[in-house]
Structure 1
Amino acid sequence: MNQISDAAHSYMLFYRKQNNSSMLIYHFSFYLVSFVGHMPLQRPSPSDVLKGFVNEAKNETGSINATPKTQQKKGIPIPPQVVMQPFTSKNISRINGKAKMKSDVDESEGFCDLKYGSYCIWREENREEMHDSMVKKLKDQLFVARAYFPSIVKIPAQSKLSGEFKQNIQEVERVLSESTTDADLPPEIQKKSRRMEAVIARAKSVSLDCNNIDKKLRQIFDLTEDEANFHMKQSAFLYQLAVQTMPKSLHCLSMRLTVEYFRDHLFDKELSEKYSDPTLQHYVIFSNNVIASSVVINSTVVHAIDTVNQVFHVLTDWQNYYAMKHWFLRNTFRDAVVQVLNIEDPDSYGKATLSHLTLPVEFRVSFPSNDSAPAINNRTQYVSIFSHSHYLLPEIFKNLEKVVVLDDDVVVQQDLSALWSLNMGGKVTGAIEICSVKMDQLRSYLGDHSFQKHSCSWMSGLNVIDLARWRDLDISETYWKLVKEQVSMKEGSALLATLLTFQDQIYALDRVWVLSGLGHDYGLDIEGIKKAAVLHYNGNMKPWLDLGIPKYKEYWKKFLNHEDQYLSECNVNR
């Protein structure tokens, strides 16, 4: 085996000088195949081999074009079962997405031997770029250094090494405390890494008790696992905080609009006749988010065939009332009109007021696809329903008989005028049913109340409401009665009361009207998104949040006014 490796080394040195990688492959393959197959061969002496190389190099036609007979005459052995591959796609190695001939590939990249498999081609085509590789390398070095350091310190003769160890560990710890990506690292980090690597290498050469190293490694591993669990819990907490807190940009926008409202004293157009005209198309939006309600109105108006008959009522709270007023006074939406109402004002609507605005309530429901399915296969659905504020609609809009309620997390993509000619057959509200979530699957919320187990649940988002029928059946009174019965049940009381109140009073809208799930489901079909009349971003990942699903955000962002001064100043357009 030593003779084979010596001869192979001679081959490589000679052809590397001659810059003839093709012949290197050809002749080196002979020895490689011989070694792997354990075939007995009559190997020529090294001197004969070198003579043959020199003669071959002098040949003008080159050894690649030489015939086997010619090679045999020149003293070069003919390797059995070795065939030179023609120029085909199989002879091409792909490096960094670019095709290169084997003769042009750097030796450090290696060659692909198709006879024994083409893993190297697959590896190059599927190689993923590692981000922040230096930070990861430093963390690995620090992990190993901490394992060796306690044992090195205990050896008096290695005091100098332990001092260097301690210094390098402190330097790397300080760098990692200030840097999380490679871009944050200082310029001299390569030198620090090399010094740490050299110290670790010296520590490995010292005779140590392996049991101590093993114990320290296990201890560090346990601490790392505890730290990972802590960060996982912290991440979950911060995620919930992020989805429930208003982003800084939207808070900035609301404050700026409030200040400008009292500074500019814009003329408040009074269009009371349109606000209460039952012959017009009235849309109701419950929202405390200026930009979200604006997107809903803008997307509805843009796709409407006729906007003269459109009236939008935005119901908000004290905190956002003046910001809403100023925004919709300085922005127009074709011929549609917008009314902003403060639902918390006790002097405006008498008993039709609440102490605070409540938005549509979302419940995260998870259950297995079947009884034997593991927990990892659980299906998750966000069910959004009416809030307490919705049950004030008949009193707030006493002169209206029909309204369409839109949540502030929807985007309209088609004309909605057909909803006004919808015959709901005496039902109170039209909604999208979710037959993937049956009433029986919500029995933990519904308790012992009587309900139809196999009936489908339904969603808010887009709802057509017959206010006249609502008043006839006294839906609001039924709801408040059920809520009072469930005083101890805080979270599920709204879900229970709403589902039981509207039992047998839901008109199922065609599913082409609304596509839901854009706030939690990454796997929605893009073609289905484009065809839907309304997109509902139900879930935690709302489109105005940084946590929003990026590929769905574009359908929401295109209805923002990117030239608006306040949006630019508050960085809302990013």
Structure 2
Amino acid sequence: MKDATVKRLKDQLFIARAYYPSIAKLQGKEDLSRELKQNIQEHERMLSEAISDADLPQLVENKILKMEQIIAKAKGCTVECSNVERKLRQILDLTEDETHFHMKQSAFLYHLGVQTMPKSLHCLSIRLTVEYFRAPSSDIEATHAHKFDNPSFRHYVIFSRDILAVSATVNSTVMSSKDAADAVFHIITDRQNFYAMKFWFFRNSYRDAVIHVLNIEDIDFSNLNGLGLKQFSPSEEFRISVRNFDQPQLLQMKTEYVSIFGHSHFLLPEIFKNLKKVIVLDDDVIIQKDLSPFWNIDLEGKINGAVNFCNLRFGQLEKIFGSDIHDGSSCLWMSGLNIIDLEKWRELKLTDMYQNLIQKILNNDSEETWRTAALTASLLAFQDQIFPLENSLIISGLGYDYRVNEDTIRNAVALHYNGNMKPWLDLGIPAYKKYWKMFLTQGDRFMDECNVRH
């Protein structure tokens, strides 16, 4: 343990503080009282500057020995045990309160670290945007415009605000393809990141694949009846805790991260009116093998080819879904890699169904936010419309689960870094980062200038 000595110091300090008030009241024990107080202060000073043993001064063992001897003397004095016990309880209560405060503060700071864009990535986005307007480039997309709505090509769609993440997803898909000449990637983002995305994909090539960057705010959605779907909302992740029915005797809760379509995904039929099928990727996904076989999968009349997430079932979330559940034993499904039949989507008017669900949820529960409503509506809208993909092909949990087997990772077609610990963050799980870094653009001038290091 890197803090074994620090813990030992804290234990000594705990006991010394408990004895000191009683020793200070004893007649003829002034020297012991003064010595005990002095050693308490020295321990407090050391612990104020030390988190691990490496932070402690060299003579710390002498101070520990000295404190042991003084505590032994204090224990040898005749004092009221009830006084010592009372003081120990007071210190214990204070310590528990302090621990609870630090746990809450740690959780808040961790959440803040996950949700806040790192300074280096913010710098990269700003630099690319400035450069786009400083040196306008020829619009390469215009030369490939005929491919954008041609259903004979293989169309991939990614909703993202993160340049680094989406470029790694695109690069991994292309590098893992046997032939990328018929691949068209549609990167859908918001106005704030649009020009940075445009300039990034102008500067970087991805074999023969075509990259099409769209600003969702420039797309005409006049046919829709509103409800705010035009506001950019990519895939959403939710941390869900439920009773662990696998071990009911322990009364333990288990926590899972569920990734689902955001509001913007339900605009797909409107954005790509001439396309029949697309593969939707999240920007925290890495592709390790050729995706050609996925285009030949028969969805058997279903809209969404997705991985079933059977760690959670609809029945476990009955309080969230209410009476709209068709089958409580059915598994949830995950975004990440999804095969979408747009023709079937239009036929069943799934977007209208989703909007009706959103409206119902927001009307029934004033505390429900626009974002959290997506969890219920997105999962319910696709009830009975999921074609299950083989779970071993797409491995999820790489953003929170330390227990994923390395052989399982290597054999997977796709890796999904769902969870808080994304691979482009310092908080990312080191053992899984290497699979993401393989497809990260190297040697880019703007990355170097913004100190983007992974």
* Smaller-chain TM-score bracket: 0.7 to 0.9
Match of 2:203 in 1: 330
> Please, which of 364, 369, 382 is the counterpart of residue 245 of structure 2?
369
Map Cα deviations across residues 156-207 of structure 1 (whole Å, 9 max, x no partner): 5333443343333223323322221233334555565555455445444544
CA distance in 1, matches of 2:247, 2:39: 56
Larger radius of gyration: 1
CA distance in 2, matches of 1:155, 1:449: 73
For the pair 1:486 / 2:361, whether they are aligned, the reply is: yes
**Range with bigger deviation, 409-418 or 523-532:** 523-532
For the pair 1:316 / 2:316, whether they are aligned, the reply is: no
TM-score, normalised on structure 1?
0.70
Match of 1:567 in 2: 447
Is the 1:410–1:537 Cα contact (8 Å) retained in structure 2? yes
For the pair 1:216 / 2:87, whether they are aligned, the reply is: yes
* AA aligned opposite 1:499: L
Q: SS of the residue aligned with 1:437? A: strand
Name structure 2 gaps, 5 residues minimum.
Answer: none
Cα distance, 1:399 vs. partner? 2.5
**Range with bigger deviation, 240-249 or 528-537:** 240-249
Give the 5 Å matches for 1:323-472.
Answer: 323-343=196-216, 345=217, 347-351=218-222, 354=229, 356-363=231-238, 364-370=240-246, 372-376=248-252, 378-449=253-324, 451-472=326-347
CA distance in 2, matches of 1:189, 1:435: 53
Is the 1:360–1:385 Cα contact (8 Å) retained in structure 2? yes
For the pair 1:260 / 2:131, whether they are aligned, the reply is: yes
Map Cα deviations across residues 317-351 of structure 1 (whole Å, 9 max, x no partner): 223223222222222111112222221x2x44343
> Please, which of 137, 155, 159 is the counterpart of residue 286 of structure 1?
159
Structure-2 change in CA distance of 1:436 and 1:186 (3 Å): closer
Structure-2 change in CA distance of 1:152 and 1:380 (3 Å): closer
Structure-2 change in CA distance of 1:548 and 1:375 (3 Å): farther
CA distance in 2, matches of 1:433, 1:152: 66
For the pair 1:475 / 2:350, whether they are aligned, the reply is: yes
CA distance in 1, matches of 2:242, 2:166: 29
Structure-2 change in CA distance of 1:372 and 1:166 (3 Å): closer
Is the 1:562–1:573 Cα contact (8 Å) retained in structure 2? no
Map Cα deviations across residues 491-514 of structure 1 (whole Å, 9 max, x no partner): 663233223322332222233431
Is the 2:180–2:207 Cα contact (8 Å) retained in structure 1? yes
Cα distance, 1:432 vs. partner? 1.6
Match of 1:244 in 2: 115
Cα distance, 1:299 vs. partner? 0.7
Is the 1:562–1:568 Cα contact (8 Å) retained in structure 2? no
Match of 1:11 in 2: none
Is the 2:242–2:316 Cα contact (8 Å) retained in structure 1? no
Q: CA RMSD in A?
A: 2.7
Structure-2 change in CA distance of 1:184 and 1:251 (3 Å): farther
Map Cα deviations across residues 424-448 of structure 1 (whole Å, 9 max, x no partner): 2332221122344333333222212
CA distance in 2, matches of 1:239, 1:402: 39
Map Cα deviations across residues 188-231 of structure 1 (whole Å, 9 max, x no partner): 55565555455445444544344332322232222222222222
> Please, which of 174, 184, 208 is the counterpart of residue 45 of structure 2?
174
* AA aligned opposite 1:150: P
* AA aligned opposite 1:254: S
**Range with bigger deviation, 469-478 or 354-363:** 354-363
Number of equivalent positions: 442
Give the 5 Å matches for 1:84-99.
Answer: none
Is the 2:230–2:264 Cα contact (8 Å) retained in structure 1? no
Structure-2 change in CA distance of 1:525 and 1:477 (3 Å): same
TM-score, normalised on structure 2?
0.88
Q: SS of the residue aligned with 1:447? A: helix
* AA aligned opposite 1:520: Y
